[in-house]
Amino acid sequence: MGDLMEKDFLRDIVSNQGIIIKICRIYRSTNVDREDLSQEIIYNAWRSYPNFEGKSKFSTWLYRVAINTALHQNRKNKVYKHIGKMEIVNSEMVEEQNEQIELLYRAISQLKELEKSILLLYLEKISYKEIADITGLTETNIGVKLNRIKARLKNILSEYGI
């Protein structure tokens, strides 16, 4: 691939690196696993970049690549059968806000894989239409699933006393 394409790709990845970080945070529980997934996402995005036609925003396309990569690795590696069994952080060493964030990630880790993806995209303020485009579901189905996800997450968080 040409130098211009490489520069465009790097520019787009750097300006959207938060997407990769969030996907890795939700789908992996250790820093090593997150780093591995991050590299795999970037590799898959680079391989697919020549096929990116600009019909959607780059961020929408990157979400699709990142989520598909995370889900594919989950199926491929049974090591991740118990994804997201995150360790409870030592509350004496962490501010209460950070503790609540950790508990939220722990609660999210208990959701099904597609639910995690939909919730992440929703929290990123992605429109129902874009979420539907990314996941292959209808906008109506996204709304229904989000209501169920919110209820399930509320139940999980109430178990943590939140």
Cα distance between residue 1 and residue 75, in whole Å = 30
pLDDT at 89 over 80: no
Tell me if the pTM is above 0.85: no
**Amino acid 108: pLDDT:** 87
Torsion of CA 55, 59, 60, 62, to 10 degrees: 100
- Token pair 């019909």 in the structure block, residue: 55
Domain-wise residue ranges, the chain: 1-82, 91-162
pLDDT for 41: 94
Band (pLDDT 50/70/90 cuts) for residue 104 is: confident
| Nearest-angstrom CA–CA distance, 107 and 158 | 10
CA dist., res. 143 & res. 80, Å (int): 28
The topology (CATH level 3) of 91-162 is Arc Repressor Mutant, subunit A (1.10.10)
| Domain 1-82: top CATH class | mainly alpha
Mean pLDDT of 49-62: 88
Closest CA to 69 of 51, 43, 49, 50: 43
Query: What is the per-residue pLDDT for 124?
Result: 82
Reported confidence tier of residue 5, pLDDT bands at 50, 70, 90: confident
